[in-house]
Amino acid sequence: MIRTCPTCQQRNRVPAARLTDTGRCGKCQSALPPPAEPLEIEDVATFDEVVAGAKVPVVVDFWAEWCGPCKMMAPALSKAAADLASKAVVLKVNTERVPALAARYDVRAIPNLALFRDGALVRQRAGAIGHRELTDWITA
């Protein structure tokens, strides 16, 4: 996974197993904190690497730009990512850019949330939900 340093904008490769650790930028040595925002997934290989390698639960939001409920749920997803920064990884998969993943997990309605633990799908649900319900769904 490529993470951009907030200080110098250097792109750093971070192994999936280390996403929730605080690392150091390879260029300026500034702290590279765990992601506190949803991470956009652009390809199947990166998705597979993160889901299989993460030491914490991985929440995946399957969405599309034209989807009104997806846009309404985005702030709740961002807040959940910030609240759970070192306890979970939040990914966003645009179903129109990466349709293979939507097909793999039989996504027929969006927004669609999937929760993975130890590389395996634990549960999945369709429909927009608020921050509290989302956080409870992830940590249950």
List active site positions: 67, 70
How far apart are alpha carbons 28 and 83 in whole angstroms?
Answer: 27
Q: Which amino acid is at 15?
A: P
The residues facing 58 across adjacent strands are 89, 116
Q: Maximum CA pair distance of the chain?
A: 44
Using alpha carbons only, give the angle 46, 82, 23 rounded to the nearest 5 degrees: 60
